Amino acid sequence: MVKFIFVRHGITIDNENMRLSGFIDSKLSDIGKEQVKKTCNRLKYEGIDYIYSSPLTRAVETAREIADFKNVEIKICQNFREMNFGDFEGLTFKEIQDKYKDEFNKLKKDAFKYKFPNGENMIEFHHRISSQLDDIIKKHDNETVLIVSHSGVIRSSLSHLLSKDHIYHWNFKIDNCSITIVEVMDNFAVINTLNNIEHLR
Amino acid sequence: MVKFIFVRHGITIDNENMRLSGFIDSKLSDIGKEQVKKTCNRLKYEGIDYIYSSPLTRAVETAREIADFKNVEIKICQNFREMNFGDFEGLTFKEIQDKYKDEFNKLKKDAFKYKFPNGENMIEFHHRISSQLDDIIKKHDNETVLIVSHSGVIRSSLSHLLSKDHIYHWNFKIDNCSITIVEVMDNFAVINTLNNIEHLR
């Protein structure tokens, strides 16, 4: 059995301004830093053997605080980087809709097959997440692995663990500094808790 | 959009003794009553328009306390009764395994098609839950409906809302007095939080 604890990074200035941030870097806001402290405190209840983190600053800042609190090493994992939104990085949905009307309509039409200009599509994205998760499952039997990452990555992980497919990507809400716990045994996943943010109240 | 808030009843003496209780009735234990009080307190954050409850005493005891706290009427709903385990009601898994070895092996072989002696099978059970949910979705547009029910009913509900199928029944953990929130819009479900039990700490 592998126990996954997924933590989304604390809120960033881009998140606060509703700007799409995938591959681009951004830092935690002051509220984000507070969220991370509260998340550490909630994690005192959890045993953690390994921490994997996305390489993006907002995730590493979050993971570093947890790692220090729990005295666990961080493994930086390129595959857990957020989706690459290409030319749309840093824009709001309103700006995309105004500046790239045709592209926005294509995105609305098929969110899974749509490839962001100079970025990824959902299926490519899902493939890098799911292959990384399958690697961890093989490598960490009987261990608890905490993954600090992004909303898209966590949604994609849940869809994969549940169905081996990307189709449930949009069926889960993942808030900043939420905790989601999934146990995987004999290739079967049980979601113990999802998008838990009570510790942020 | 319909917002569902699923609450599992507080713990019972049968739950504490690991006895299978489906159609049979049982009362909350003292710990269960404490859990319900804490759950009411957590629900102060949620607006609730309607409460549906399973008719079984453990659910009604839970729903009554919430209804009084939130000043909302309870609708008793036969379809939200737990699965009918027939001859196995009140037994532990150890007792079933010892007394009904052949039946236990059949159950292990196909948990979905297996029909409990003088009880239901999972597909029949799923059908009564999913048709009731679909009714509520039609009836309660733009409202928040709290459902007090049982672990099997809530797992079956999640599977239906996500996939229109029973296949994900076993992929969700549902603890006593846990809170699970799902928003359904245009036939598409987003799980906001699942098996949230932080209020019971």
Q: Which residues of A are annotated as a binding site for substrate?
A: 8-15, 58
List the single best residue of B167, B192, B197 to mutate versus A (max A Cβ within 10 A).
B192
When CB atoms are compared, the residue of B170, B191, B196 closest to A171 is B191
Residue B183 has pLDDT above 90, yes or no: yes
Q: What is the mean pLDDT of residues B78-90?
A: 95
Which amino acid belongs to residue A9?
A: H
Per-residue pLDDT reduced to its tens digit, A47-91 = 999 999 999 999 999 999 999 999 999 999 999 999 999 999 999
CB-based contacts of A17, cutoff 8 Å, min separation 6: A92
| Dihedral sign computed on CA atoms, order A65, A199, B145, B155 | positive
Which amino acid belongs to residue B142?
A: N
pLDDT of residue A59: 98
Beta carbons within 10 angstroms of residue B107's beta carbon? 18
Tell me, what's the ipTM?
Answer: 0.96
Domains and CATH numbers, chain B: 2-86+123-200 (3.40.50.1240)
The answer to whether B175 touches B128, Cβ cutoff 8 Å, is no
When CB atoms are compared, the residue of B171, B189, B196 closest to A196 is B196
pLDDT-wise least confident of A8-17, A110-119, A130-139, B191-200? A110-119
Residue A4 has pLDDT above 90, yes or no: yes
Q: How far is CA B85 from CA B28, B152, B183, in A?
A: 20, 11, 30
Per-residue pLDDT reduced to its tens digit, A128-184 = 999 999 999 999 999 999 999 999 999 999 999 999 999 999 999 999 999 999 999
Residue B131 has pLDDT above 90, yes or no: yes
